[in-house]
Every structure is written in structure tokens, then in C-alpha cells.
Structure 1
Amino acid sequence: MSVKSQSPVYLIALGSFALGMASYVMAGLIPMIEHAFAVPVAIAAQLVTAFTLAYGVGSPVVVALLPAHRQRGGLLLALGLFVLANAASAVTTNFTLLLAFRAIAGVGAGVYLATGIAASTALSRPEQRGKSIAVIMGGMASGTVLGVPLSLLLAERLGWASALWLVAALGLIAWLGLALRLPALAAAPSVPLKRKLALLTDGHVMVILLVSLLAAIASLGMYTFIAPLLAAPEYGDIHSVTPYLWAWGVGGVLGSFLIGPLVDRIKGPTLTLSIMVILAAALLLLPAAASSGAWLVMLPIAIWGAVGWALQVPQNNELIKARESQGDGNLAIALNESALYLGSAIGAAVGGFLLILHWPVWILASGAGAVAVLGASIQMLNMRLTFSKSRCEASSR
């Protein structure tokens, strides 16, 4: 990236840092909100649902409706909506309004990330797009790993609203910087909504989204149950899971940043396959590593976090390449983010159901590893089919 183009990309990453905080901090604020609004914990937890559903379902719809010649304005509008919704969440005294504001923040976050990644690639040379996406995804990972604990510490001292004020402040700084430094973006080809929906018939895109979905079921789904696994007597009898969550998160930050140069040197499908294989191995090794030693299990957990977060860099890069000429690359990215949230929900739901049935906890890690193996197999099959198709087309010329 040129010096001129670096600044907007890092400002977009600052916004994604705030997004990462907002995506995960609410779960830690639930006990405080339960007390502040005098609502049951099950009701307070719906604040997380409102954000994630709006993010996963609402943002692709908004991105699909975004005019092709308003990409810069759409990015600033989405980030501004995200900032205002978080500020409104911090000041409201009505729980119903708080739910609504969390949903609005979720839509703004999803649209911002999709348009932000598309903008960063537009500002970068083709051979450096992977690095740009890695910077933005690294910002989101850092917001989750570093920002969430910081905001929760602030909330313990100053009240739950202070965490959301911090999110809004960081988002506002990013918005002001982008308003000043983000140049006009080249208009994407104008595509009617009906043609945008044809994206769902693109087999290559659907395979990418399917692999992302399976990776999320395996990685984010298992993340929900890391505490029950490590708390089991046969797998360490660990009472504080915090160091292991930090290992997962720090691995995620490193993976998000380090994957960038690799994306620009290695073909995306090959890199995705390698990541899925490593993810499967790390998850399958979890029970054995946990039973062997409390510190030994840190290694597969850190690797799991690293590849789980890193995967979306080559995936988003491939989606942009696949749909750039059709002008709907940002919609493909929005659908990819939806696949991640849907996969996380599926993984958590299935794992919870198995625990209700009193299945042994190691089944969760093994099952997550098996899902990752399935994703790797689908990726490998798709690569072989693509290679065979390319050879047939070359021979017919």
C-alpha cells in the first residue's frame, strides 16, 4: 500500500476494533444490565441476540440496496449509525429501546465491515489486498481480545454504559478520520437488485460461504464450550478459563495480522485448505492435550484461535475477486459475515443440545474437528473440480 492509502485502511481498522468490542462486550455486561433494568437474565441476554441477528440478517439486505456510486457515503453512514446507536444505548433508560438500539448497531456494524473491506481493497494494489483485509480483520480481533476486557474493566468502575461510550468514542474517532482522509472511491458497476440476488446461484461463491459456515460451526461453536471442556476432571479440572481465552484471543490477533503477507503470495483456495486442516487438527487434539497438562493445552488453543480468525482474510479476498467484475463484492462479504454468525449460532445450539443429553464433553471437540474436516474435504473437492475445469477449457482452445 502507498503511504497515501495506508491511513484510510488503518482508520477503517480502528472502526473494526470498535466493532469487535461491540460484538462481544454485551455478553459481559448482561449481569449489570439485568440489575440496572430489573429484567431476568434470559431477557437481558436477548440484547446479544438482537445485535447478532440484525448483523447477520439485516446487513446483507442493506448492502444489497446500497447504490453502487455511494460506496464512500455508505461506509460513513454505516459507521455513523453504529456510533449513534451505541451512544443511544448508553443513555436510554428503557429496555425495549435498548433492544432496538442494539439491533440498529448490529446493522451498522455489518454494513460497515462489508463496505470497509471493499473500500480497503479498492485503495490497495491487487498484490496487497490480502494485507489490507488482514489489517481490518486484525483490528476486529484486537477489539475482541484487548478491547472487551478493557471496556468491562471500565464498566466495573463507572457503570455498564461507560463500555458503550468507549465503543462510540472509538467509532467516532474513526468516523472523523475517514471523513477527512478517505478519498472518493471508484463507483462499482451499477447492478440491479435482481442481478445481485443471482450471486446466490454462483457455485464458486456458495462453496466459499459453505466453508466459512462450517469453519464457524467448528471454531466459534466450540469456543462456547471451552470452559466446560477444561472444567471436566479428566481434562484438567480448571476453574478459571480466562488464561485460555486469552491464549485463544492472542492467537487470533496474531493470525489475523500474519496471514496478510501469505494471502498475497499463496493462492487463496490453497491457503484456505491449509487453514481448515490445521483447524481440524487443533480441535481434534484438544481433549488429549487437556488431559495431558493444563499448560500443554494452551498450544492447540492458540493455534485454533490463530487459524480460526485468519481464515476470513483469504475467504473475503476470494469473494472480492470472484464478484468484483459483477460489482457485488461487498454483498458477498456481507453474506460471508452472515455465515459466520449463523455458524456460531448453530455450533452453540448443537453443542448445548448434546450437553443436555449428557453426552461426554470430549464429543464437542471431536465433533467440531469433524466439521472442520468436512469443510476441508469440500474445499479440496472444489479445488480439484476447478482445476479439472481449467484443464478442459485450456485443452479445448
Structure 2
Amino acid sequence: MRSILLLGLGAFALGLDAYVIAGLLPIVAADFDTSVAVAGQMVTAFTLSYGIASPVVATLVPAERQRAALFGALLVFSVGNAGTAMATSLPMLLGMRALAGASAGLYLALAVAAASTLVSKERRGQALTLVIAGMSSGTVLGVPIGVLIAQESGWRVTMWVVTGLGVVAFVGLLATLPALPANSSPTLGQRAAVLKDPRVASIVGVSFLAAVASLGLYTYMAPMMGSAAMGGVDNITPYLWVWGVGGVLGSLMVGPLVDRSGLRPFTIVVIIMATLSAALLLLPGLASVDPVLALAPILVWGAVGWALQVPQQHDLLSMRGEKGGSVAVALNESALYLGSAVGSTLGGIALAVGFGMSSLPLAAGAVALLGLLLQITGVRIFMRRGPKGSEPAPARGVSDR
């Protein structure tokens, strides 16, 4: 159990590292004498590398070298964050963020696999929950704490804290993690074969668009809420906390909703995407009246953004079975980080060409509407047809899904 907790600590550092920059952009931009749009590419570098490393690099690790690769990934992750803290130029900064992101993607894939082998099958769910909860709590709870540290001591101190957490996890795992069984991961060909299933592709597409909208916009939370058009907020921390609290509530509530409400995951995703769209589109108007009013859509945004993946993963596992489902879920996770990278890049481009901060949530809301449209058209059609060569599934209306 100690090893699993330490795996969770590493995941906590990963979750903190992935999005704490969102709250530090104005500080980092000022330190490097650059624009917020350019500084925002730190998130792009991290999440793009993460999204590529998780499905690609993990397949290159020999089955008998999983334990060594896990240590290597965690060590490189710590080096990447130390390099971020010591960066003296923007290219170095972006390079270190890419290094940290790639190693983070590999670490989480290996940590999840390791946790599943360290306990009996009956306790596997609990072990996996501890690792994934470490990552989500790093994002939801760790980010506001990291921002507070940065406000008091500077953003580089926050990055040293992330580095320290990674080192502690590394040393602890080095002392406690036993040898791991040689379980080979799916090849790139096997992963690509799963993605060729139009049902999987359409669901992953919805997750990608949701991430472009939700996580992409989150990158610019601090400068967005600090702009005059959005109320000129001086302290972003309460808004990050509210977004995080919404994330915790959404994560806790969606599971029972899927299991016991009688609603199909398809319908729940429709509700989530519609709610996300509405929250993002309402955000600028409410913030312009009073920034306190913006707390309501931010709470909803955090809740539905974090809740989405439970019904998505449920559908992927249900349609592909245990083996194929795990590959589909991994692809879905990659889509989230690639979507975050695309969203932060597009946001930076929009700001660079002169769009105002208040236009970002409107654009994000439009992308979420595209995800809703894909859900009620493509996902519905392909799930009714079933995989190629199978008998068509019984026709169901949206209300039955």
C-alpha cells in the first residue's frame, strides 16, 4: 500500500504541474518580458508532449523494463521541473515544459499499470482510484495552493515545490516498489485499430472538443479574469478554488448518476456538453456585471468538465470489452491532453491577433457546442450501427440513451 500511495504522490505532482502554470501566466510573462499569449504556450508544450508520450512512448518500453522506465520517467519529470525553475530564456522554458510533459505522460501510464499489479483483483479498483485521485487532486487542490506560494515567494518557488514532490516520490518508490510482472502494453498498431472503430473515434472526438473548450480556456483563467472586460479581478485564487470545488463535486456526483439514475451515459454526456456550453457562453456577461457573479458559471464549468470522462469511459469500456476498452480509454486520455494543447495554442493565437480576453469563453462555448453536435449526431449514429460487420443495434431515441 505504501508503494501505491507513493505512486499517487507522483501523480499529485503531475496534476499540479500540468495546470499550475494557468494561474501563474501573468507572473511568468512579466518575468520573461513577453505576452500572456506567448507564455501560455508553456501549457501547450507540456500537454502536447504529454498527449503524445502517453500512447506512443509507453509502447516502446520493453515488458521486462516497466519498473526501470517508471523510475526514469519520474526522474526526468523532476529534472524537467527543476529546469523550468532555473530557466533563463523562453526557449529553455518551453523545452523544459515539453520534457516534463513527455515524462509525465509516460509516468502516469506506467504508474496505473504498476498499481493494478500490486494488489489482488478485488482491490484493483481502490488502487487505481488512489493513483487517479492523486492526479485530479493535484490539479483541483494543488493548483490554488501553488498559486498562493507563487504570490508570496515567486513562481519559481512553486516549480521547486513540484520538483520536490517528484523527488520524494522517486526516493520512496525506489525503496518500496517491488519488481513488476512483465506485462506488455498494446502496440501502436493495436491502438490505431481501436481508433478505427467509428464509435470510439466519435466518443474520443467529443472528449477532444470538450478539452479544447474547458482545459484550453482554463490556461488563460488568470489573465482572463484580470482583464477589465471580465471585472478586473486582482486575486485569481478564489476563482481557481471554485473551479476546483466544482471539479470535486462533479467527479463525486457523476458516478452515482451513471450507476443509479437510469440515464444512459450517452444522455448524460449530452446534458454535460449542453451545460458546459451554457456556462462558458454566460461567463463574460455575468463577469462584466460583477466578477462575483462569474463564480457561478465557473463552478458549473469545473463540475461538468471533470464529470464528463466518467460516462465517456463507461461507454468505451462497455463497447470494447476489458482489453480493447483499456486501449480506448488510454486514447481518450491522450485526446484530453491534445485538446488542452490545441485549446491553449488557439487561445494564444486569438490574443496575439488582437481578440479580447472576453472573447475566449465565447469561443470556448462555441467549441463545446460543436462537441454537443457531434454527440447527438455522430456518436448516436455510430453507436446504433455498432462496429463494422456487426448486426445493427436496436434503434433508440436520444431519451433512451
- TM-score of the two chains, using structure 1 as the length reference: 0.75
- What is the aligned counterpart of 2:366 among 366, 370, 374? 370
Task: Report the CA distance shift for 1:216/1:327 in structure 2 as closer, same or farther (over 3 A).
Answer: closer
Contact persistence 1:138–1:253 (CA under 8 A): no
Displacement of 1:108: 1.1
Percent of aligned pairs sharing the same letter: 46
CA distance in 2, matches of 1:8, 1:320: 27
3-state SS of 1:41 partner: coil
Contact persistence 1:54–1:104 (CA under 8 A): yes
Q: What does 1:1-397 align with in structure 2 at a 5 Å threshold?
A: 9-26=4-21, 28=24, 31=27, 40-41=33-34, 47-68=42-63, 70-87=65-82, 89-90=84-85, 100-120=95-115, 129=125, 135-154=130-149, 161-179=156-174, 188=183, 191-224=186-219, 226=221, 236=231, 238-262=233-257, 268-291=265-288, 293-316=290-313, 318-319=315-316, 326=323, 329=326, 332-351=328-347, 364-381=360-377, 382-383=379-380, 385-387=382-384, 389=386, 392=391
Task: Report the CA distance shift for 1:40/1:251 in structure 2 as closer, same or farther (over 3 A).
Answer: same
Post-superposition Cα deviations, 1:69-111, rounded to whole Å, max 9, x if no partner, equal 5555544442233234334555677886665443322111111
Contact persistence 2:70–2:111 (CA under 8 A): yes
Displacement of 1:186: 6.0
Contact persistence 2:81–2:162 (CA under 8 A): yes
Task: Report the CA distance shift for 1:121/1:358 in structure 2 as closer, same or farther (over 3 A).
Answer: same
CA distance in 2, matches of 1:95, 1:360: 24
- 5+ residue gaps in structure 1? none
Displacement of 1:263: 5.5
Post-superposition Cα deviations, 1:254-298, rounded to whole Å, max 9, x if no partner, equal 333554555665765444333223212322332443355443331
Displacement of 1:18: 0.5
Displacement of 1:214: 0.6
CA distance in 2, matches of 1:183, 1:320: 29
* Aligned residues: CA RMSD: 4.3
CA distance in 1, matches of 2:318, 2:64: 19
Task: Report the CA distance shift for 1:100/1:358 in structure 2 as closer, same or farther (over 3 A).
Answer: closer
- 5+ residue gaps in structure 2? 395-401
CA distance in 2, matches of 1:246, 1:214: 24
Contact persistence 1:191–1:327 (CA under 8 A): no
CA distance in 1, matches of 2:344, 2:80: 27
Contact persistence 2:43–2:219 (CA under 8 A): no
Contact persistence 1:110–1:337 (CA under 8 A): no
Displacement of 1:360: 7.2
3-state SS of 2:292 partner: coil
